[in-house]
Amino acid sequence: MRLIPSVAICTLSLALSCGGRAALQQIDGQAGSRATGGDPGFQATGGDPGFRATGGDPGSQGTAGSSQATWVARGDFDELPLGVIPEGTQYIHLAVAASGEVYLASESTPIDSKRVFDLTRVSPDGRGNWTQRINGASNSLIVDAVGTIYQSRTLNGVGVLDKRTPDGRWLWSREIETMSLRVGRDGALYGAAWGERLRKFDGDGNVLWTWQGPGNLGVSGFGADATGTVFVRTGVRPAVQLPSGAKGQPSPQDGLLFTLDQGGAELSQRRYSTGVFGPTAPGTVVYLETGPINFAVTSEGRLLSAPLTGVGLYDPSGDAALWQWDARDVKPSSWDLSNGFSGALSAGSCAYCAASRHALYAFDAEGNQAKTLLLGEYSASAWAADNLDNIYALVEFHRVAAVRRYHGESGWSPAQR
């Protein structure tokens, strides 16, 4: 059983999708894309005693030393062993603070007719650890620059957004649909929900604005630069007829990239065509999305994109790729779908990195591949970086899970030319 992907600040979650070279087409704004002040579906319930019992119950608070997890030196990396993952129990979310604290959320499991999960913190030196048990199921976990914890979870079929201090002390809970969470480079909290809804929150969990996309599916990527300009990618029916995929495979979509101002108003919209990757196994169709896909916003406000077959850096408008690197051009004899890129990471010492389940690839500012961090037989469901020159990977092999921490140049090897 595989680890389930996660999303968190300074963390890259690996949800395999396709991408490639850009084919750009500008589109006028659509009436279905709008920013709306306040969300009628949002309910602030931070002072409600009933909500304290769901996330802020004193019995759920972490206790220093309550987690026995600690770092173990393993040659090129330090390891936080998570042990053998029994059936029905998985570590599904990893978040890493800029100062090196690691946060983990387990999969929800039934206990006494309730579903609960564990939220665990492990400090950089293995001290100051805690674990607390929380009702419901974790949907997304992130931390901001100072280590404040934000979590989206489901409780009895209701979405809940929680905020906790770095030491695990509950601050508030808000009833709102489950979301994928990110903290932008502007320091604000953003949440994307099914139905192409993107929200921006203030520090008290109030919705500042809600943007509604033109469709009714999911937001496939979003982020904000240091000025508060927001980038969000959704999908639309392809402009050209594409071959059908295997039974149960999602239908192909062209990409739409929207740029929003600080108030959620639409500034621009771009469309990217989708093609077909080949050759593939008989009966298999792999759709090749283009433009910024699986992107991260860099410190310069550019979009680092990691589609299936390569890596690219786009200007903030998404109009042009400043550089593109295609794995098939470098290693055509050994590259296959299992080596496909899954997302971009731009944090800490990893300013321009792209990840697959088995490796992390680092690039310089000009798009030259500089080095590679290989995991061998292990596969990663998430990669992360802190501000202490460390890289983290949530890994698994034969149901044995661990968090690896690589410091400096340890574990890296020069890129193959």
**Which one, of 303, 360, 53, 343, lies nearest residue 185 by Cα?**
303
pLDDT in tens, 207-220: 999 999 998 878 98
User: What is this structure's pTM?
Assistant: 0.83
pLDDT over 50 at 283, yes or no: yes
Distance CA 40, CA 43 (A): 8
**Which whole number is the average pLDDT over 233-249?**
81
Task: Write out the DSSP string of 275-304.
Answer: EEE-S-STT--EEE-BSS-S-EE-TTS-EE
Question: How many residues would you count in the chain?
Answer: 417
**Which whole number is the average pLDDT over 237-256?**
80
Evaluate whether 195 touches 154 at the Cβ level (below 8 Å): no
pLDDT at 51: 36
Task: Sort residue 301 into left (φ over 0), alpha (ψ -120 to 50) or beta.
Answer: left
pLDDT at 25: 27
Evaluate whether 160 touches 54 at the Cβ level (below 8 Å): yes
Which segment of 69-78, 293-302, 381-390 scores lowest on mean pLDDT? 69-78
**Which one, of 177, 184, 187, 142, lies nearest residue 163 by Cα?**
142
Task: Residue 409: count other Cβ atoms within 10 Å of its Cβ.
Answer: 12
Distance CA 38, CA 34 (A): 12
**Which whole number is the average pLDDT over 22-50?**
34
Please work out, in degrees rounded to the nearest 5, the angle formed at the alpha carbon of residue 12 by the alpha carbons of 9 and 16.
145
pLDDT in tens, 88-113: 456 789 999 999 999 999 888 878 77
pLDDT at 399: 79
Evaluate whether 273 touches 238 at the Cβ level (below 8 Å): yes
**Cα torsion through 164, 168, 169, 173, rounded to 10:** 30
How confident is residue 67, by pLDDT bands cut at 50, 70 and 90?
low
pLDDT at 401: 87
3-state secondary structure (DSSP) of residue 331: coil
3-state secondary structure (DSSP) of residue 75: coil
pLDDT over 60 at 3, yes or no: no
> What is the 8-class DSSP label of residue 56?
I
Phi, psi of 258 (to 5 degrees): -105, 140
What is the residue extent of each domain of the chain?
1-14+66-171+379-417, 17-42+176-341
Q: Any residues with CB less than 8 A from the CB of 315 and at least 6 apart, and which?
A: 302, 303, 322
pLDDT at 319: 78
pLDDT over 80 at 191, yes or no: yes
Which segment of 152-166, 226-240, 268-282, 300-314 scores lowest on mean pLDDT? 268-282
**Which whole number is the average pLDDT over 212-238?**
91
pLDDT over 70 at 181, yes or no: yes
Distance CA 165, CA 10 (A): 18
**Which whole number is the average pLDDT over 57-78?**
65
Diameter of the chain measured on Cα atoms: 61
Distance CA 83, CA 68 (A): 12
pLDDT in tens, 129-143: 899 999 999 999 999
pLDDT at 417: 60
**Which one, of 305, 416, 328, lies nearest residue 371 by Cα?**
416
How confident is residue 72, by pLDDT bands cut at 50, 70 and 90?
very high
pLDDT in tens, 342-381: 889 999 999 999 998 899 999 999 999 999 999 988 999 9
pLDDT in tens, 292-334: 988 999 999 999 999 888 899 999 888 788 999 887 776 544 4
pLDDT at 82: 83
How confident is residue 336, by pLDDT bands cut at 50, 70 and 90?
low
How confident is residue 277, by pLDDT bands cut at 50, 70 and 90?
confident
pLDDT over 50 at 124, yes or no: yes
Task: Name the token pair of 244.
Answer: 């059908």
Distance CA 389, CA 100 (A): 9
**Which whole number is the average pLDDT over 31-52?**
36
> In this structure, which amino acid lies at residue 96?
V
